[in-house]
């Protein structure tokens, strides 16, 4: 499982405490997934998850949600963690958690990076289970998967505006139906 450089679109990889993370060019993620399934034996795609890194490394405020100007917990201080987080190449990461049904349960995370407006090829034809996983990430994070057979909202209502898990989407910002203000 170590020969990651042969994966199509390979950029870099690093080992983690639970599985290696292999960075792939966003446009070639489908080829990389096919390679992982057919050559490396990762027969299950457990999960697809996108992360929004907007504002990464900025202020970290603890306490009540409403106090955006509260005490900055991310400032290097005399106690706690000193380093500021490492900067990310683009705004969104899309991670594919793979599992091989073999001895030792090898796992790997294929990861690609996209900015707002950039698309990722769909891997539904590689693993049919990714149908709903990709729809969920489209719905909640706004990642567009090209050639997905049915890319619609999954968890939120069809006419919902915005993608709730993005960092610029406010919590508690949606209007409450039948409240006094309406």
Partner 1 sequence: MSATVSPTTTRRWPVVADGQYEGSRIPSRVPTILDVPAELRDSEDVLQVNFGPNHPSTHGVLRLIVDLHGEEVVGVEAVIGYLHTGFEKSMESKTYWKDVTFPERIDYVGYQNNELVFVLAVEKLLELEVPTKAKWMRMLLCELNRIHSHLVFLGTSALELGAISMFWYCFRERETILDLFELVTGQRMHTRYFQIGGLAEDIPQGFYPECRKFVELMPRALDDYKGILDRNEIWLERTQGVGVLSADDAIALGQTGPNLRASGVDWDLRRDQPYLHYDQVDFHVPVYPNGDVYDRYRVRMDEMAASTNIVRQCLDKLERMDAMPWIADDRKVVLPPREELHTSMESLIHHFKIVTEGFRVPEGEIYVAVESPRGESGCYLVSDGGPKPWRIHFRAPSFAALEATATCLENTLVADLIAVVGSLDAVMGDTDR
Does residue 34 touch partner 1 according to CB under 8 A? no
Figure out which of the listed residues 42, 140, 142, 143 binds partner 1, where binding follows CB under 8 A. Answer: 140
32 or 130, CB closer to partner 1?
130
Distance CA 43, CA 39 (A): 10
Does residue 105 touch partner 1 according to CB under 8 A? yes
Q: Could you tell me how many helices (H) and strands (E) the chain has, helices first? A: 2, 7
Q: In whole angstroms, how close is the CB of 148 to partner 1 at the nearest point?
A: 9
Nearest to 123 by CA among 95, 154, 90: 95
- Binding part of the chain for partner 1, among 2-10, 27-35, 91-99, 113-121 by CB under 8 A, reads 91-99
Q: In whole angstroms, how close is the CB of 29 to partner 1 at the nearest point?
A: 17
Question: Which residues are within 8 A (CB) of 46 and not within 5 positions of it... i.e. 6 or more apart?
Answer: 97, 98, 99, 107
Strands (E), 100-139: 107-114, 119-121
The contact set with partner 1 (CB under 8 A) reads 16-19, 21, 43-47, 49, 51-53, 56-57, 60, 62-63, 65, 71, 73-74, 80-81, 83-86, 95, 97, 99, 101-105, 107, 109, 124, 127-129, 131-132, 136, 140, 149-150, 153-157, 164-165, 169, 171
């Amino acid at each position: 499982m170590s020969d990651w450089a042969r994966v199509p679109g390979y950029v870099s990889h690093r080992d983690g405490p639970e599985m290696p993370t292999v960075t792939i060019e966003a446009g070639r993620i489908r080829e990389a997934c096919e390679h992982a399934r057919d050559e490396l034996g990762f027969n299950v795609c457990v999960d697809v998850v996108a992360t929004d890194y907007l504002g990464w490394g900025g202020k970290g405020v603890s306490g009540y949600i409403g106090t955006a100007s509260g005490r900055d917990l991310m400032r290097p201080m005399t106690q706690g963690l000193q380093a500021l987080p490492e900067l990310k190449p683009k705004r969104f990461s899309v991670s594919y958690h793979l599992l091989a049904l073999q001895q030792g349960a090898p796992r790997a995370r294929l990861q690609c990076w996209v900015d707002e407006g950039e698309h990722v090829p769909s891997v539904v034809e590689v693993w049919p289970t990714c149908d709903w996983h990709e729809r969920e990430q489209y719905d909640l994070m706004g990642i567009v998967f090209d050639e997905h057979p049915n890319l619609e909202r999954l968890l939120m209502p069809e006419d919902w505006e915005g993608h709730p898990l993005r960092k610029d989407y406010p919590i508690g910002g949606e209007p409450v139906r039948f409240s006094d203000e309406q």
